[in-house]
Amino acid sequence: MPEFILLVLLFIISYLGYWLFELIRFPASRIVGPIIVVALIQMFGITFSSPVFLKMLFSSIFGVYLGLRFDQTALKQLKVSIIPAAFLSIIYIGITILYGKILMQVSSMDHNTAFLSVIPGGVAEAGVLAVSFGANLSQVSSFQLVRYLSIVMIMPLISKYIISPIVKRSGESNKPVETSLPQLDESSLNSIHYSALWLFVVGAIGSFLFYKIHFPAALLLGATFFVALTQLISPRPFKRPPEFLYSYAQIGMGAIIGTSFTRENFSAVAGLVVPMLLLTFMIVTTSVILGFIFSKIFKMDYMTGLMSVLPGGLSTMVILAEAFDVDIVTISTLQLARLLTAVAVIPILYQWIL
């Protein structure tokens, strides 16, 4: 089947996935629905691929909307987040050492593969490190994929039906968020003005430059940094672009993430199901506890604390944070600290901690 037809089919399926999950009111349905549906289809042997430019496009769109949140008020929040970020980095170094040793004890994995399987980075970052250190790439990628999928599927449900009610009863509350997809009408299209178009140009340039210097999560963070900097030096704030762009970008990103789940990934770890489930359970449980600790020590609401420490992808955690209407600036800052710890700090310490 021609690649163009497969690409069109991919996004049709992704939209249907969003629609089905929205129908049952599943949290963060715009990204979770496409991920789950596309992953399930690929498990049956149908393989989709997505051009690199689409990932760059969607990541840049996320970066533009995230960058607009960084105004003068957000800068004050960033200063407050420095200590929690440092604390989180130290915690994740300890968690990586502990869980890596546990995984070595309950499986036949070599020490390089075991530690990189539990490193708190993304699938792509862990894969690059696995190649660099001669680890088993298929096992590392599969562990990272299962952990990511577990967080995407389980945590929204736990957050919505267990954690949020408890938080509300304890006196904290978040205003409800409208999850239905904005309609693509003519008035919305006409609301895009020149400043918004320039923001997307600036975001694309930032994504490209960060990508060229191999910065972690370059596509998202490059656009975020350049748009935030542009807004801070501008004499007046920019108007936020129409929400339908952000909404459809979430569906598109969900489609792209879903394509990373293949039958081969999971076949490669058929004999490691028990260790994989054990470590995934431990990681999710640790995140719930660590989120509680963060919320108490650093005086933030619990949902912000939880979303800040969950070892999911940076883009995904920002989307989940928006779905639950919590402090996205703090969450994105702490998630960046987690990512930098995984791809920069831990590899530098690798020869001492292994």
312-323 as b/e: b if 16+ CB within 10 A: bbbbbbbbbbbb
Distance CA 307, CA 302 (A): 9
Higher model confidence: residue 33 or residue 346? 33
pLDDT given for residue 20 in this prediction: 93
Q: How many whole angstroms from its chain centre is CA 22?
A: 20
Residue 271, pLDDT > 90, answer no
Q: How confident is the model at residue 195 (pLDDT cuts 50, 70, 90)?
A: low
Q: Where exactly are the structural domains of the chain?
A: 55-172+193-353
Nearest to 339 by CA among 120, 56, 114, 84: 120
60 closest CA partner among 199, 197, 195, 203:
203
pLDDT attached to residue 269 = 65
Confidence of residue 184 (pLDDT cuts 50, 70, 90): very low
* Rounded mean pLDDT, 262-283: 78
What mean pLDDT do residues 68-90 have? 79
For a pLDDT cut of 90, what percent of the chain falls above it?
Answer: 5
